[in-house]
Amino acid sequence: MAATLATVLLFAALAWPAAPWTISCVGDSITEEGGASSSDDAYPAVLEGLLGSGFEVKNFGRSGATMMEIEGESYRDRDEYEEALESEPDVVTIMLGTNDAKGEFWGTLIDDPEDQYVESYVDLIATFQALDTKPRVVAMIPVPQLEESSKWPDSDVINEASRDSCFVIPAREFNYFLQILPDLVADVAAQSNIDVIDMRVPFGDPPDEDYYKDGIHPNDDGNEAMAAHLSTELSRLGLLAPATYAPTYAPTPRPANSRTVDKAHYTVNI
């Protein structure tokens, strides 16, 4: 009788489908869908397709959202924040900061934006880490800016100028805050003891314009490249299955040239 019961329980366990490994993507319009043709073409949806069965990638991006506590703009003031908290995630990726770097916020509306960005980021990470599912959180360096716009300054200055230049170039011509985001994200990761994924990498250096819809938002090809890079990095960090890992605060090195990603022929090694 005991043997029969054990056999029944074994077959029941084998037949019962395992819960999907849930990855919740937190971000702004670049995560929501930005320059993609639709939400199905945004990098979270493409990532889910790359990973295949057993994985669920949820998109909690919100256009215009900031990391800093700016009234009406902060990610924490948006419905997507509450939805992300309730998503029962195993992994949370966070890519926020592009909107914080707008001229209307940095150096004008916000005092000490660097400190506030880091403090808000560390607090957001701690909130997710305290969830019942104890998700592993990853900080992501935002994608590079391709060209200037009315909201962001000249891209050449953003991507190439030195930190010290901010003291001699007006804020509207040189966005010091966007320039130092990689350093700030690394500081956040070190304080929170989590990993960093550099989302500048798939765009190349300098960024490949074929990956953009406009100066800031990746198109379908850009989102495809982001998803491929993200899947590779999550696998490398051991975040595609339960595992014990040592965080690496330094982002991945940037390649000299952009790479082409063919989703149909891309395989993720898990």
pLDDT tens digits along 134-145: 999 999 999 988
Domain count, the chain: 1
Give the SS3 label for residue 100. Answer: coil
Report, as an integer, the average pLDDT of 51-80. 94
Q: Closest Cα partner for 216 from 127, 136, 144, 119? A: 144
The runs of H, that is alpha helices, within 75-154 are: 79-85, 113-129
The pLDDT of residue 15 is 43
Half-sphere exposure of 149 (CA within 13 A, CB side): 14
Q: Are 200 and 256 in contact (CB under 8 A)?
A: no
Q: Does the pLDDT at position 59 exceed 80?
A: yes
Dist. CA 237–CA 198, nearest whole Å: 13
- Domain assignment of residue 14, yes or no: no
Q: Does the pLDDT at position 265 exceed 60?
A: no
- Domain assignment of residue 228, yes or no: yes
Dist. CA 157–CA 178, nearest whole Å: 10
The pLDDT of residue 234 is 98
Dist. CA 9–CA 77, nearest whole Å: 46
Two structure tokens written together for 118: 């880091």
- Separation of CA 149 from chain center: 22
The contacts found for 159-162 with CB under 8 angstroms, 24 or more apart, are: 159/206, 159/207
For the chain, how many helices (H) and strands (E)? 9, 5
- Domain assignment of residue 210, yes or no: yes
- CATH number where 252 lies: 3.40.50.1110
Q: Range of 218's domain?
A: 21-100+111-145+181-260
- Domain assignment of residue 223, yes or no: yes
- Domain assignment of residue 171, yes or no: no
Residue with tokens 């808000």: 120
Q: Does the pLDDT at position 40 exceed 60?
A: yes
233 residue type, one letter: E
* 214 band by pLDDT with thresholds 50, 70 and 90: confident
The pLDDT of residue 171 is 38
Dist. CA 139–CA 252, nearest whole Å: 12
Dist. CA 231–CA 226, nearest whole Å: 9
- Domain assignment of residue 220, yes or no: yes
Lowest mean pLDDT among 85-99, 108-122, 156-170, 224-238: 156-170
pTM for this predicted structure: 0.77
The pLDDT of residue 43 is 98
Give the SS3 label for residue 135. Answer: coil
Dist. CA 55–CA 22, nearest whole Å: 6
The pLDDT of residue 8 is 43
- Domain assignment of residue 5, yes or no: no
Mean pLDDT over all residues of the chain?
79
